[in-house]
Amino acid sequence: MNFIQSLSEVFHDSFSLLLKGAGKTFELAFLSLLVATGLGLFFGMLRISTNKFLRFIAHAYLSIIRGTPLYVQLVFSYFVLLPAIFGQSIDPFTAGALALSLNAGAYLVEIFRGGIESIDKGQMEAGRAIGFTHFQTMRYIILPQAVKRMIPSFVNQFIITLKDTSLLSTIGIMELMYSGQTIYSVNFKTLEVLTIVALMYWAIVTLLTIVANWIERRMAQS
Partner 1 sequence: MTKIQIISYINKIKQRGEEVMKKVGLTLLSCALLFGAAGCAQKEDATKDTKKEQEKIVVATAPDNAPFAYKENGKLTGFDTELIKALAKKEDIDVQWKEMKFNGMIPALQSQQVDAAVAAMTINDERKKVVNFAGPYFDSGLVLVTKTDSSIKKLEDLKGKTIVAKQGSSGLAKAQELANKYGAKVKILEDEATLYMDVQKGGSDALINDHPFVAAKIKSGTASGLHIVGEKLTGEQYGIAITKDNEELLKEFNKDLKEMKENGEYQKLYEKYFGTSK
Binding residues for partner 1, rule: CB under 8 A, are: 79, 83, 88-89, 92, 169-172, 174, 178, 181-182, 184-188, 190
Distance CA 33, CA 25 (A): 12
Nearest CA among 127, 125, 150, 130 for reference residue 44: 150
Minimum separation from the CB atom of position 25 to partner 1 (A):
16
DSSP letter string, 32-82: HHHHHHHHHHHHHHHHT-S-HHHHHHHHHHHHHHHHS-HHHHHHHIIIIIH
Distance CA 121, CA 146 (A): 12
Minimum separation from the CB atom of position 83 to partner 1 (A):
4
Minimum separation from the CB atom of position 78 to partner 1 (A):
8
Nearer to partner 1, 118 or 190 (CB): 190
Minimum separation from the CB atom of position 92 to partner 1 (A):
7
Nearer to partner 1, 161 or 181 (CB): 181
Nearer to partner 1, 23 or 172 (CB): 172
Distance CA 33, CA 59 (A): 20
Nearer to partner 1, 112 or 178 (CB): 178
Nearer to partner 1, 97 or 108 (CB): 97
Distance CA 220, CA 149 (A): 10
Minimum separation from the CB atom of position 184 to partner 1 (A):
7
Helix (H, G, I), strand (E, B) or coil at 216: helix
